[in-house]
Structure 1
């Protein structure tokens, strides 16, 4: 559990990488193919992690809220990075 929290502090891609190496059967059971986790690693890491956590018993109820929050987190991370670059370019 402590390793999982430390990896979350490092970033979601680190968690995906370590979790994928430690429990590859769990990843293949949830996603079925290797393409979806790779795309999730590249483009939507928080959503991929959240889906891994909630998909075990099926996505129902509050799971949809958690997935929506993860999508918002992924999109805001891209938007925040571009806003920072624009601000930095304007200051230079």
Structure 2
């Protein structure tokens, strides 16, 4: 798990999720097995909502307060997307809308 935490800190949730998928493939498979195409859901989560997918896999049998951790993952994804949207005006030579 040392590799997981190091990659999360230095490279972000996408690489951390990939490393977690390599270290515990059965846990990821069990977490996504209720979907029709579990491998596709995992890849889509990796691309579009990495914090949510990572939290979902880590706290998988969701019960009790685990929903709060999943909410933090959703919040982290929303904040990362909206933060990039609002800070685009600070980029030098940006001529957007």
1:1-92 equivalences under 5 Å are 1-9=1-9, 10-32=11-33, 33-55=38-60, 58-88=61-91, 89=94
Report 1 or 2 for greater relative contact order, CA contacts < 8 Å, sequence distance ≥ 6: 1
The structure in which a higher percent of residues are helix is 1
Report the alpha carbon displacement of residue 48 of structure 1 after superposing the two structures with TM: 0.5
Report the alpha carbon displacement of residue 18 of structure 1 after superposing the two structures with TM: 1.5
Q: What is the aligned residue count?
A: 88
Give secondary structure in 1 for the equivalent of 2:64.
coil
Give secondary structure in 1 for the equivalent of 2:59.
helix
Q: Which structure 2 segments of 5+ residues have no match? A: none
Report the alpha carbon displacement of residue 7 of structure 1 after superposing the two structures with TM: 1.0
Q: Note the aligned Cα RMSD (angstroms).
A: 1.4
Report the alpha carbon displacement of residue 41 of structure 1 after superposing the two structures with TM: 0.3
Report the alpha carbon displacement of residue 61 of structure 1 after superposing the two structures with TM: 1.4
